[in-house]
Homo-oligomer: A and B are copies of this chain.
Amino acid sequence: MSARTLAALGSPVTYHYDPVFLEQFRRTERKVGQILRTSAEVILMQGEAVLGLEAAARSLVRPGMPVLNLVSGIFGKGMGYWLKDFGAELHELEVPYNDAVEPAEVERFLESHPEIELVAVVHCETPSGTTHNLAEIGPIVKAHGALTLVDCVSSVGGMPFEADAWRLDLCVLGPQKCLGGPPGMSLISVSEDAWKAILANPQAPRASFLSLLDWKEQWHGQGKFPYTPSVADLHGVEAACDELLEEGIEASIARHERAARACRAGVRAMGLELWPRREDISSPTVTAIALRAGVTDVQVREHARDHYGVMLSGGQGAGNLMRIGHMGPTARSFYPVVGLMAVGRTLSDLGVSVRIGEGVEAALEVLAAGRVVQPAGSR
């Protein structure tokens, strides 16, 4: 988190029915709408993004509903388990976890399955560093008359995202990723079409921590919170939104893309291989590197942490890969190169031959070509 967001998060807490807080809550909803580029209703649920995703899926899926789930990684796979649990008649388009489902395949599938009412899709598969082409998939699904359930938890702010222009219905964003905010909230937009489906779903949660409808009816309808919101978290989320909006969404996207290009150039120059099979599905917010047989992600992660104090992530089951995150504050300055050095030097320590110096030079070359944005000042 940035200095400013931390300060906001740590600011002493007012009563949650203080008029100042009520206005701040509504103002933050509007800012989230701006960031998701939507005029749809925004719900801010208290709970990490997994809460928002579960709430969204439970609200939309009624027993027997024909649903198409796009699977290109473990997040998509997990969504499928939920959809089935909640009663969907589940269809899946699955590709290897270094690939993405093509919009054309989605279109073909929907043509041959006109009964599909909902398509679930993950924008950025963080564990394997790939992305889906929502700009094309969204309009295809809408043209078909189905709804979209979008996991954009770790993409918004780091790559283009247009909820309205792309005709997306239910989008779930996590403030702790590219926004650099605190993890405790789910930021959700719900289109009119999505509300219609939720209201028509007798199984949609009500009087529950998992209920989108409670927030719509009690908070938006009557000005009462379904339960005590975290004042501290809201402070933090608003500060994170402010930082993004002040930087400018376009500028933030450009910054993430430059960090990603630097990282990929470095990986290749080091003599390592990128995990995603194509450049155009590589995520601008996280770079996944394929590990050779004989070295595991657990080894690399622990060595980098214990010897160099650098936190890297593995594939969480998506494959034998390492990830360098460049989201929010870590997409600034030389952060991506620090990750590169940690991967390089660790692999070298573990006996893999790596050209660290060449990798670092290649990454710096990319950063030098564009003006790198400074770490954000506090306040």
Contact = CB atoms under 8 A, between A and B. Distances in A.
A209 B172 CA distance: 15
Interface residues on A, range: 35 or more
A308 B333 CA distance: 5
A281 to B, nearest CB: 25
A183 B357 contact: no
A51 B209 CA distance: 6
Contacts of A358: 357
A1 to B, nearest CB: 6
A11 interface: yes
A378 B11 contact: yes
Interface string A306-332: 111111000000000000000000001
A222 interface: no
A334 B308 contact: yes
Most buried by B among A24, A176, A210, A374: A374
Given A341-B337, A364-B356, A379-B235, A50 B227 contact: yes
6 contacts: A3-B14, A9-B10, A20-B377, A20-B379, A208-B210, A334-B342
Interface of A: 1, 3-4, 6-15, 18, 20-21, 24, 46-48, 50-51, 54-55, 81-82, 85, 176, 182-184, 207-210, 226-230, 232-233, 235, 305-311, 332-334, 337-338, 341-342, 345, 348-349, 356-358, 360-361, 364, 367-368, 371-375, 377-379
Closest 7 CB pairs of A and B: A10-B10, A357-B357, A7-B11, A3-B12, A309-B333, A309-B374, A20-B377
